[in-house]
Structure 1
Amino acid sequence: MTARQEALWAVLLWPCLLSTSFLLECTDQDQVIHPYCLSISQDKLLDRVMQHVELIFRVSEESCSLFEDIFVPFPLRLQRNQEAYACFTKAIPIPNSIGEVQQMSDKWLLHSVLMLVQSWIEPLVYLQTTLDHYDGAPEMLLNKTKWMSDKLISLEHGVVVLIKKMLNEGLLTTSFSDQGLFRYDMQTDMVESVMRDYILLSCFKKDSHKMAVFLKLLKCRHTDNANCA
């Protein structure tokens, strides 16, 4: 890993890994309220995180389709794949090709999921705010966005617990400050605002699918490693 990648990893991960000091040792009864506890078995923790991510992905698909149908004219949809609308998480050093992903270690897979989760917390909070200013934004879309934002914070905790459980990693100390990857300009016209939010939803859908793929590969390695290709 290059020095630049190490620096970026440290910037992205330290707020999450600091929360390991608040990890819970739960009884069976407590697990109803706190689904991610150190006392839960590793396999069950991984299954819960996987289910959590898959559910977030499904809701992100629904939200993106709903937003597209209501606010995005067809000509604007065709612009989505232009370089100018690249996902901000493209800057995160995570492989995209299948071959490269299969070569990732368990540690890389888990920390890549954590980086993606943390990188989307602020944008989803922002998205809730900007959607409130849309005329005719359906309550269903607002509720789905709020749900994803809340669940992402819970997922962050779940991934941190899973890292602690599977990798036995605790606090990560760093001298780097978090500069953030997500930038937005509130002074934009309506078309630009719609495209910005459309790209955010589209990119979140892609990244939540990527998280699901990483976790499925991780699960496969720990159950049927010979057939994970």
Structure 2
Amino acid sequence: MLPKFFAVTLLMCVFVSVNAVGLNDLLERASQLSDKLHSLSTSLTNDLDSHFPPVGRMMMPRPSMCHTSSLQIPNDKDQALKVPEDELLSLARSLLLAWSDPLALLSSEASNLAHPERNTINSKTKELQDNINSLDAGLERLVHKMGSSSDDLSYLPFYISNLGQDKTSRLVNFHFLLSCFRRDSHKIDSFLKVLRCRAAKRPEIC
């Protein structure tokens, strides 16, 4: 166990280093993480598509059935540019929060998929979960840095406890959830990049 004085000193150093990081740097790191999330979800979708049964595409639910579809968000970058900074940050955090349980489900199901790329899919899904946890922690820091409210989040419940009873249903529902996340990760990435360019006071890069 660390001596009490040393432990307190270490915590103070961590606190100082965290608060010493500027807003632009925090937004840059968050943007890099969100970009990684979207890239990973795209890569995972390509892995699934490599051996996806034709009947699976016929069974695929519509995008409007994603559990996050009820959240009112900007449709494109031009609309996002008109949204206040604290609202954009809240939207990004709301989307991220909405994927906590679904990603845990995908992570638990990935190793049992009836797919020849199962091991790769399983590994990337775990990486996806790790990255979303890191981004969530980063957005918490942004909330305190920007002085935004932490209570204005939209909660989007997710009621699914399994992906189906047969291998095709599990594969289709895994793909569907992943496609929903891919769409939402793009939105999160776009919102954070708008926040980043606003903070840099460089509207030409927005």
Query: What's the counterpart of residue 6 of structure 1?
Result: none
Distance in 2, matches of 1:56 and 1:44, equals 18
Query: What's the counterpart of residue 10 of structure 2?
Result: none
* Structure 1 position 189, deviation (Å): 3.1
User: With structure 1 as the length reference, what TM-score do the two structures score?
Assistant: 0.73
1:216 correspondence with 2:197: no
Change (3 A) 1:122 1:185: closer
* Letter matched to residue 43 of structure 1: N
Query: What's the counterpart of residue 141 of structure 2?
Result: 161
Residue among 16, 19, 23 paired with 1:42: 23
Distance in 1, matches of 2:96 and 2:111, equals 23
Distance in 2, matches of 1:92 and 1:171, equals 17
* Structure 1 position 73, deviation (Å): 1.9
Q: Percent identity?
A: 24
Change (3 A) 1:122 1:44: same
Distance in 2, matches of 1:133 and 1:108, equals 39
Change (3 A) 1:149 1:94: same
Query: What's the counterpart of residue 159 of structure 2?
Result: 183
Query: CA contact under 8 A between 1:89 and 1:119: conserved in structure 2?
Result: yes
Q: How many residues align?
A: 191
Can you give the 5+ residue segments of structure 2 that lack an aligned partner in the other structure? 1-13
1:207 correspondence with 2:197: no
1:148 correspondence with 2:146: no
SS for the counterpart of 1:145 is: helix
Distance in 2, matches of 1:79 and 1:98, equals 32
* Structure 1 position 75, deviation (Å): 4.7
Query: CA contact under 8 A between 1:95 and 1:101: conserved in structure 2?
Result: yes
Residue among 77, 84, 92 paired with 2:71: 92
Change (3 A) 1:26 1:59: farther
User: With structure 2 as the length reference, what TM-score do the two structures score?
Assistant: 0.80
Query: What's the counterpart of residue 13 of structure 1?
Result: none
Change (3 A) 1:217 1:90: same
User: What does 1:9-88 correspond to in 2, within 5 Å?
Assistant: 25-27=15-17, 37-70=18-51, 72-77=52-57, 80=60, 82=62, 86-88=65-67
Distance in 1, matches of 2:110 and 2:38, equals 20
Query: What's the counterpart of residue 31 of structure 1?
Result: none
Residues 109-168 of structure 1: CA deviation (Å, up to 9, x unaligned) = 1111111111111111111111222244532211110011111111101001011102x1
Can you give the 5+ residue segments of structure 1 that lack an aligned partner in the other structure? 1-23, 28-36
Decide which structure has the larger Cα Rg and report it.
2
* Structure 1 position 76, deviation (Å): 3.0
Query: What's the counterpart of residue 133 of structure 1?
Result: 112
Distance in 1, matches of 2:41 and 2:92, equals 16
* Structure 1 position 226, deviation (Å): 4.1
